[in-house]
Amino acid sequence: MMKQEVRPLPALFDHPPLEKVVLMPCWCIVSLVMGWVLASSRMAAPPFAIDLEVQSAKVHNTAHAEVVASGARASHRDVLDATAREPITVRWTLRSMAHKETIPDVVVHFFVVQEDKPGQQTVPKLDNGVAVETALTMDFKPTDKTQGELTFTLDRPGSYLIRLETIGAMAGSAGHESYAAMDLVVH
Amino acid sequence: MGRDWQTDGPLEEEAYLMAVRWTLVLLAWSYLAIPIQAEHADIDLLILHLDSVTGVPTEEGRSSVDREPPAGGLRPRPVIPVKANDPLALQFVLINTYPHGEKKDVTVRYFVVREEKTGQKTLPGLGKDVVTQGRFTLNFKPKCRVGARVCFTLKERGVYLLRVETLNTDSDHEHFSAIDLRAE
């Protein structure tokens, strides 16, 4: 039976002496931090570019793509004001940012739904209060895009979430779902 | 000086070959013709009445796919009575049934617009009389889908055209589905 070599603990961890870690050159730490930031931003890069433009009689605004990250809070959404029964036009463009791969069977889902308050974190269920809902399916080759333009009116005052999102992109090479959203307060 | 069809071997063979040739020609023609003549889209269009309190939808009318030309399609479209100022919703699902590859930059357009009379063949202009409208541009792959559900109300009595249609399919015809709404 072979005798197993018993090594001292520092050798097992194989880490440098503490003073060397503390005195690690600043440039090395900066490089590590920058590398981590770049790597994480690359991982979170939206697989789709989205422009979601909302226009009422007096104002208009555009939201852009964000990535659905597990457990992360949605970022701040812009809020637009509108008057009940005035025409509202939404234009959106969704373009694949993939360089080589095709992202198949993506559902591009758009909806306008009543919400409790502007900026709320949870997306309302789409079983009630949905004013507009559309969906289309498409395979996205590199730089492929789809566009939509809708004009509608909202009769009931209140706060509405306007959101364009992908469904099924996570299953493909994209690895993330993308969305763009805005709040609309109807007076 | 007729020839005996039963006993004349070379002529019988020639006739057989001719029959085979014509059969192949017919088969090739039908193969090439089917993609041109076949339906490229399946459309299910509904007009829904929404309960003003609960929002629960009730189907008021439905229409399936038709084609142009001829203008206005091959079949008369249904005329559905509705009430002005009642909450309504249009709903459609369009399925691309063209099986021969992808079509680039196809447009699917829907609209509700005031028209002069039910069943009119000419499309009204999509200007100030539009109640609601939308359009999508996408690459059509076989069996891809486009759908929408949009709430609206008709503020004034009159006749309105609800229609969903394809554009730019690079075909000799386009598909649509339509309903006339008579708001009373």
Q: What is the DSSP track for B153-175?
A: ---SSEEEEEEEEEE--SSS-EE
* A20: confidence class by pLDDT, cuts 50, 70, 90: very low
Find the mean pLDDT for residues A109-137: 95
* A24: confidence class by pLDDT, cuts 50, 70, 90: very low
Asked if A147 has any chain B CB less than 8 Å from its own CB, the reply is yes
Domain ranges of chain A: 9-42, 45-186
Can you list the positions of beta strands (E) in chain A? 48-55, 60-64, 66-67, 79-82, 87-96, 103-115, 130-140, 145-153, 158-167, 178-186
**pLDDT at residue B11 in the model:** 62
* Mean pLDDT across chain A: 80
Pairing type for strands A178-186 and A79-82 reads parallel
Q: What's the CA gap between B134 and B146, in Å, rounded?
A: 12
User: What tens digit of pLDDT does each residue of B31-40 get?
Assistant: 444 444 567 8
Which chain A residues contact residue B152 at CB under 8 A? 152-153
Pick from A137, A144, A148: which is nearest to B135 by CB? A148
Q: What's the CA gap between A156 and A82, in Å, rounded?
A: 11
Which chain B residues contact residue A156 at CB under 8 A? none
pLDDT of B67 higher than 50: yes
CB neighbours of residue B31 within 10 Å:
9
CB contact under 8 A, B102 and A139: yes
CB contact under 8 A, A152 and B147: no
Report the CATH architecture of A45-186.
Sandwich (2.60)
* B18: confidence class by pLDDT, cuts 50, 70, 90: confident
**Can you give the pTM of this predicted structure?**
0.78
User: What tens digit of pLDDT does each residue of B102-158 get?
Assistant: 999 999 999 999 999 999 999 999 999 999 999 999 999 999 999 999 999 999 999
* A62 within 8 A of A51, measured Cβ to Cβ: yes
**pLDDT at residue A71 in the model:** 61
* A56 within 8 A of A80, measured Cβ to Cβ: yes
**pLDDT at residue B74 in the model:** 94
Closest CA to A59 of A88, A36, A32: A88
* Mean pLDDT across chain B: 88
Q: Which strand (E) or helix (H) includes residue B130?
A: strand B130-140
Closest-CA residue of A relative to B104 is A144
Listed in sequence order, the residues at least 6 apart from B83 whose beta carbon sits closer than 8 Å to its beta carbon are B183, B184
Pick from A129, A132, A146: which is nearest to B137 by CB? A146
User: What tens digit of pLDDT does each residue of A35-88 get?
Assistant: 454 444 444 567 899 999 999 988 899 999 888 766 666 678 999 999 999 999
Q: What's the CA gap between A81 and A62, in Å, rounded?
A: 14
